[in-house]
Amino acid sequence: MNTQSEPKPAKIVLRELADKFYQDAWDAKARGEKIGWCSSNFPQEIPSCMGVSVVYPENHAAAVAAKGGGRRMCEEAEADGYSNDICAYARISLSYAKLKECPELNMPQPDFLLCCTNICGQVRKLTDKPVIAAATHVHWDHVGGHRYFPEFCAHEREVGWLTGGFPLTPEQIKAFVVEGCNLPAGFDVSGYKMFQGFPARVLRDGDTIDIGGRVVRVLHTPGHSPGHMCFWEEEKGYLFTGDLAYVGELFAYYPSTDPAAYLKSIERIAALPVKKVLPAHHDLNVPATILTDMQNAFRRLKAEGKLCHGSGKHDYGYFSVWL
């Protein structure tokens, strides 16, 4: 008799993981433990190693928005005087902190907050070893901290982007930098400059990065950008997917993106024995089955003649594709 259970769809697995995550937080609160709200850029290793329970308001806000409550919560925040220029997720979190509940999803109120302004400074506190930065690709939201690290890596296809050859104008980049943000007092985006420099190491497909007892292999996975890389730690089954695969809206509409290459890259990583997907944005509770779900979605788009720029946004439940 076959006792193996049928594999669950990734959407169900993700929902179960999220339900357990929030229930664990509520259980900790019921035991009298302190619960923190943690910003997405705060090093997760710290609360994890300390056994401190935290929830992530950005993820909660995304879930509320996905269930149709985003507009109502944003309007609540705006009625309290918060500008609609503030990130929508932040407005949802501000409303939830005031209301303390919402019909879409509840999470415990915070006893403390964890956040940081400079992730690089936090990294320095975690180790006394030399630090080499290796971003999955050269976009402004991934290389902004490179200036803090003299040594960094880049893929050979995007070295030119770091030396004046980025395919967007400075004004376009500045517009993306401030989009949906509540800017701090005194910040003037007109002075913003995208990081420029030459990498200490130029990476190519198949290269390895040895960090002492752990080896990570470079996989060239173009699509989101021409030099996009995933980092594959085969021994652990960890795949660092950057902007190629994550929960949320995937961007493949820029002129520098390549939808056909995106499909080939997804097919490549979907064939790996991945145990854990570690993306660059949003939620870290991502089932490895997202890779096959994305592969199926991209193949469907190709079969329908929609795997091309200008075909619009395509929703697949817990992720979508903007072409």
pLDDT at 1 over 50: no
- 109 inside domain: yes
CA 244/CA 319 separation, integer angstroms: 12
Total domains, the chain: 3
Averaged pLDDT for residues 272-286: 88
DSSP notation for 37-88:
EE-TTS-THHHHHHT-EEE-HHHHHHHHHHTT-HHHHHHHHHHTT--TTS-H
Whole-structure pTM value: 0.68
179 within some domain: yes
Paired tokens of 120? 């690089």
Provide the greatest CA pair distance for the chain: 69
**Same domain as 211, residue 108:** no
Whether 234 and 257 map to the same domain: the answer is yes
Of 203, 234, 263, the residue that ends a domain is: 203
Same-domain pairing of 227 and 263: yes
Is 11 part of any domain? no
Domain extent, residue 257, equals: 206-323
Average pLDDT over residues 100-128: 83
Q: What mean pLDDT do residues 121-131 have?
A: 78
Greatest mean pLDDT among 15-29, 175-189, 207-221: 207-221
| Confidence band, pLDDT 50/70/90 cuts, at residue 230 | very high
Mean pLDDT across the stretch 169-179? 86
Domain boundary among 55, 81, 114: 114
Helix (H, G, I), strand (E, B) or coil at 144: helix
Asked whether 261 and 222 are in contact (CB, 8 A), the reply is yes
Average pLDDT score over residue span 192-211: 92
Q: What is the pLDDT of residues 33-69, one digit of tens each?
A: 999 998 876 777 678 767 888 998 888 888 888 788 8
One domain for residues 236 and 295: yes
317 plus 214 within the same structural domain: yes
Q: Are residues 182 and 267 in the same domain?
A: no
pLDDT at position 8 over 70 = no
Is the domain of 210 the same as that of 291? Answer: yes
Q: What is the structure's pLDDT at 6?
A: 67
CATH code, domain carrying 306 = 3.60.15.10
Asked if residue 262 has pLDDT above 60, the reply is yes
Mean pLDDT across 98-110? 93
In a domain, 73, yes or no: yes
Residues 146 and 47 in one domain: no
Q: What is the average per-residue pLDDT within 99-103?
A: 93
Q: Residue 189 — very low, low, confident or very high, per pLDDT cuts 50/70/90?
A: confident
Q: Greater confidence, 118 or 262?
A: 262
Does 216 share its domain with 190?
A: no
* 56 domain-assigned: yes
Q: Is residue 189 part of a domain?
A: yes
Average pLDDT of the segment spanning 289-296: 94
Looking at the domain assignment, is residue 8 inside a domain? Answer: no
Residue where a domain stops, chosen among 60, 93, 114? 114
pLDDT of 132-170, one tens digit each? 889 999 998 888 888 888 789 999 999 999 988 999 888
Q: Are residues 22 and 96 in the same domain?
A: yes
285 plus 261 within the same structural domain: yes
What is the distance between the alpha carbons of residues 277 and 281, in angstroms, rounded to a whole number?
12
Percent of the chain with pLDDT over 70: 94
More confident residue, 247 or 49: 247
52 falls within a domain: yes
Averaged pLDDT for residues 206-220: 93
Domain co-membership, 197 together with 210 = no
